[in-house]
Amino acid sequence: MASTYYSASRLTREHFIEPPSLISRILLFLPTDLSVQIRRLWDRQNYAPVSTRHSRVPRPLRHLRCNPRSWASLPHFLVAVWLFMLLWGERWVFQRAVKNCRWEDWERWPKDATPHHLILLADPQLIDPHSYPGRPWPLDKFTMMHTDNYMKRNYISLQQELHPDTIFFLGDLFDGGREWKTSHGNLQDPSWANGQRPSGEQKYVDTWGKRYGEDFWLHEYDRFGRIFYKYWNLAGAEAGAGQRGRRIISSLPGNHDLGFGANIKIPIRNRFEVYFGEGNRIDVIANHTFVSIDAVSLSAGGDEHSTPEITAPVEDFLAKAKVNKRKAVANELSRLAGKERVLAQKHIVEDLDHVDFSQTPSFDPGPDTPDFPTILLTHVPLYREPGKPCGPKREHWPPATPPKGQTSPVIPDPRNAISISKGYQYQNVLSESDSVKVIESIGNVGQVFSGDDHDYCEVVHPESKNKAREITVKSMSWAMGVRKPGFLMLSMWNPVGPDGRPLHSTQSGHGAGSMVATTSESHLCLLPDQLGIFIRYGILIAISLLALFTRAILTPYLNLKPFSEEQSPISSSEDTLLPTASKAQRRRETSPGEHHSANSTSSTSSNKLAPRPAARTRSISPAKGYGLPASQVRFATPPLIQSAGYYSPPSSAGHYSDPEVYDEKKSAPPRKPRTLIGTIWSEAWTSLWRVLWMVMCVYFWLIWFYPT
């Protein structure tokens, strides 16, 4: 058993770390068997060999070391470039685009003005199975995720930087909302509509009817809310100075929400209005009257297949629009004056057969009462002459260059104009009769804001439409055919007196010296080019691959230090965490004729050994190192050391050999030198893998998590 003591004493601090003194003292009072088992568990957790500890590290992180030379390399330089590019393309570009549209940068109100800030968002059209029915699943999900992220990032930046008082949506909240079944009602296409669907949609109709119903629509409604409603109060719930409160209104339907004209199904429309509100409404905001109309239902009036059930709500609304406008304005003026409007009835007794009901009191103040500037909101643009240009802000086609000497725009300009056309479930503009009817029924319409076209268009209508100025707002989604989506900002300031008359006027461009009341200003805010961001990603991918493969090819020819060797697993004594003696030093310190004596109790040999540093020559006796009494050393030490893997089996003579000598005898044979192709491939793959997994981790974090 003396050999046991000898071999244990050869295990120095380079193999073991003493357990805490408190644990050692506690183990002294435990039974021997229990103490030994606890120490074995302690060894396995804390004193495992370097190779064992190394194998427990996750494979992608196994080669990471805090070596400055290793990190100052081409792959890590590319990782830094990619980090900057991803932060720019997934965060900074959205914040900068919205910040460039700050209200104070383009408003021209007096210094003491308190304008109301309103934003119009058009055609978010959430991507769903209806959008790209033939697109494979991974690509379809990728498109859906990126369109949602694009709108969410812009909307969050919009709330943080602009903090509008009111937001109006101009329809087409969903892309396939009209296709998803309701729980009740007949949703079958009528017989006269057979063959109208595009061939690309027709083969999916049965599948949509079976797979997508009320539950799916509710999921899409929740998805819309997680993009827009969730972040409404991100910058606070308080409105701007002088404003009553904040509102978000998304009740205006589009043809992708309900359908168009006679193709509208009543259960689909009822579901939309239950969750978003009525499409026909009047709102008084900042002393302006906003009138929203369900233009897609109104368009069924001129269809031979239309039914009164489709058009009745919007027809009734237009018939009472002027009266309801006057009531809304009177209520607002009473509120501003601090008064409450009460309908007073005379307390008299009359014969029912002789009562004149035309003289019944009403909240309608009458046609001669003051009116606020009226703004019409419609999803479908009003009719205009074919080829009427949309102006220089239209993205699809710029205006045609006028002939030499002509200062006015070229008319007609079909490329720059909205096409006057229609098809299944859509019509680019309302009919001429419906457009005139809407303007005349509402009255005093000075501005019109519409959607549906996805691109910007600005026109001034003729006298038949009250010379109203109409702006078709860009879609805010990058999947709607425009490279640079956008939204429209509307700043309104219209202080009025008790009689409703405006208290200010500003100089406008209607002639020298003319004073015209200007109560609103608009500004188009352009959003980032998402396709351009992807193109930049593609260019950087090509540059990264070219740089990595070029360096891999040049490594053996220019004798460069291989990146793959810098990241090789820890295997040599130089890579260990604890200091160890080299093999040559161990050979010098241990003479060939050294024998372990059975009666020896020290770690010195018969030959003189060269002195070692204190950290390497200091020996620890089993009793002292483990805190065990001497009576337990001969039984505890060998199993404990063996369980930790630090000593070799006994030799044929019954002695435990030196673990260092044993490791040297069992060392692995040298590797074969790599070929030229092998060196290039190893260098290229190691570098590429390092860049790939680090960049992808950052990318997926940026697209899945958005700190607010």
* pLDDT score for 2: 43
Residue 143 inside a domain? The answer is yes
Rounded to the nearest 10 degrees, the angle between the axes of helix 308-319 and helix 321-336 is: 50
Instruction: Give the angle subtended at the CA of 535 by the CAs of 530 and 541, to the nearest 5°.
Output: 130
Using CB atoms within 10 Å of the CB of residue 1, give its burial: 0 to 12 exposed, 13 to 18 middle, 19+ buried.
exposed
Among 126-135, 156-165, 370-379, the minimum mean pLDDT is found in 126-135
Q: Using DSSP, state whether 55 is helix, strand or coil.
A: helix
Model confidence band, residue 45 (pLDDT cutoffs 50, 70, 90): low
Question: Between these two residues, 670 and 242, which has the higher pLDDT value?
Answer: 242
Query: In the prediction, which pLDDT does 567 show?
Result: 57
- Whether 227 maps to a domain, the answer reads yes
pLDDT digits (tens, 9 = 90+) for 563-621: 766 655 444 434 444 444 444 454 454 444 444 443 444 444 344 434 444 444 444 44
Mean pLDDT across 484-508: 84
Long-range contacts of 324-328 (CB under 8 A, 24+ apart): 324/282, 325/282, 325/289, 325/291, 325/371, 325/374, 325/442, 325/443, 326/364, 326/365, 326/366, 326/367, 326/369, 326/371, 327/363, 327/364, 327/365, 328/282, 328/283, 328/284, 328/289
Q: Is the pLDDT of residue 53 over 50?
A: no
Q: How confident is the model at residue 509 (pLDDT cuts 50, 70, 90)?
A: very low
- Give the angle 32-35-40 at the CA atoms, nearest 5°: 125
- The backbone torsions φ and ψ at residue 506, rounded to the nearest 5 degrees and listed phi first, read -125, 155
Q: Beta 486-492 vs 520-526: how paired, if at all?
A: antiparallel
Count of CB atoms situated within 10 Å of the CB of 666? 8
Q: Rounded CA gap, 391 and 610, in Å?
A: 92
Does residue 621 fall inside a structural domain? no
Alpha carbon distance 405, 651 (integer Å) = 108
User: Does 344 have pLDDT greater than 90?
Assistant: no
Tens of pLDDT along 81-97? 999 999 999 999 999 99
Domain containing 423 equals 111-338+363-398+413-503
In angstroms, the CA 596 to CA 40 distance is: 26
Q: How many residues does the chain have?
A: 708
Q: Are 300 and 266 in contact (CB under 8 A)?
A: no
Q: What is the DSSP string of 497-541?
A: -TTS-BS--EE-SSSTT-EE---EEEEEEEPP-HHHHHHHHHHHH
**For residue 648, is it within any domain?**
no
The predicted pLDDT at position 590 comes to: 47
Handedness of CA 390, 392, 393, 394 (dihedral sign): positive
Report which listed range, 59-63, 107-111, 306-310, is most confident: 107-111
**Distance between CA atoms of 372 and 289, rounded to whole angstroms?**
6
Q: Check residue 167 and give its pLDDT.
A: 98
Q: Is 26 domain-assigned?
A: no
Q: Does residue 614 form part of some domain?
A: no
Chain Cα centroid distance, residue 343: 51
Residue 247 clears pLDDT 50, i.e. is over it:
yes
Using CA atoms, how far residue 461 sits from 298, 321, 390, 402, 465, in Å, is 20, 21, 12, 21, 6
DSSP state of 398: P
DSSP 256-300: HHH-SGGG--HHHHHHHHHHH--SSEEEEETTEEEEEE-HHHHGG
Give percent of the chain with pLDDT exceeding 70.
72
Task: Please tell me what DSSP assigns to residue 229.
Answer: I
Helix (H) or strand (E) holding 704: helix 676-704
The residue ranking higher by pLDDT, 121 or 199, is 121
The 10s digit of each residue's pLDDT in 662-689 is 444 455 566 667 788 888 888 889 999 9
Question: Is residue 416 helix, strand or coil?
Answer: coil
Ranges 296-305, 332-341, 417-426, most confident: 417-426
Judge whether 316 and 402 are in contact, CB under 8 Å: no
Can you tell me whether residue 212 is helix, strand or coil? coil
pLDDT single digits (tens) 549-568: 999 999 888 888 877 666 55
The whole-number pLDDT of residue 534 equals 95
pLDDT at 516: 45
Contact 82, 695 (CB under 8 A): yes
Q: How far is CA 141 from CA 135, 138, 394, 508, in A?
A: 9, 5, 30, 50
Quick one: which of 609, 592, 707, 601 has its CA closest to 661?
Answer: 592
pLDDT of residue 44: 59
Q: Return the biggest CA–CA distance within the chain.
A: 138
Which range has the worst mean pLDDT, 5-14, 115-124, 202-211? 5-14
- Please report the pLDDT score of residue 613 as a whole number: 46
* Residue that is written with structure tokens 């330089």 in the block: 77
Measured in degrees and rounded to the nearest 5, phi and psi for residue 144 equal -60, -45
Backbone φ/ψ region at 452: left (φ over 0), alpha (ψ -120 to 50), beta: left
Averaged pLDDT for residues 271-287: 96
- Average pLDDT of span 643-658: 45
What pLDDT, in 10s, does the model give residues 141-197?
A: 889 999 999 999 999 999 999 999 999 999 999 999 999 999 888 788 888 888 888
> If pLDDT is split at 50, 70 and 90, which confidence band does 118 have?
very high
Query: In 3D, which of 476, 445, 329 has the Cα closest to residue 378?
Result: 445
β partners of residue 489 = 119, 523
What is the dihedral sign for C-alpha 16, 22, 25, 29? negative
Q: Are 159 and 235 in contact (CB under 8 A)?
A: yes
Please say whether the dihedral angle defined by the alpha carbons of residues 598, 602, 608 and 611, taken in this order, is positive or negative. positive
Tell whether pTM > 0.85: no
In a domain, 314, yes or no: yes
Q: Which two tokens stand for residue 96?
A: 């900068």
Percentage, residues of the chain above pLDDT 90: 49
Buried/exposed 361-389: b ≥16 CB within 10 Å, e otherwise? eeeebeeeebebbbbbbbbbbbbbeebbb
How does DSSP classify residue 89? I
Which pLDDT score, from 0 to 100, does residue 667 have? 52
When mean pLDDT is compared across 395-399, 441-445, 642-646, the lowest value belongs to 642-646
- Residue 461's closest CA among 451, 472, 452, 469? 469
Asked whether the beta carbons of 121 and 249 are under 8 A apart, the reply is no
The answer to whether residues 94 and 567 touch, using CB atoms and an 8 Å cutoff, is no
195 phi-psi bin (left φ>0, alpha ψ -120 to 50, beta other)? left
Q: What is the pLDDT of residue 269?
A: 96
Mean pLDDT of the chain: 80
The whole-angstrom separation of Cα 307 and Cα 559 is: 83
Segment 255-270 mean pLDDT: 94
Q: Give me 446's structure tokens.
A: 């000075």
CATH number for the domain spanning 291: value is 3.60.21.10
User: Is residue 225 assigned to a domain?
Assistant: yes
Of the two residues 445 and 406, the one the predictor is more confident about is 445
In the block, tokens 């910058």 appear at 235
Who wins on pLDDT, 203 or 59?
Answer: 203
**Residue 329: per-residue pLDDT:** 93
Cα–Cα distance for residue pair 286/240, rounded to 1 Å:
12
Q: How many structural domains compose the chain?
A: 1
In eight-state DSSP terms, residue 342 is -
Bond from prior residue into 412 cis (ω within 30 degrees of 0): yes
Measured in degrees and rounded to the nearest 5, phi and psi for residue 566 equal: -65, -30
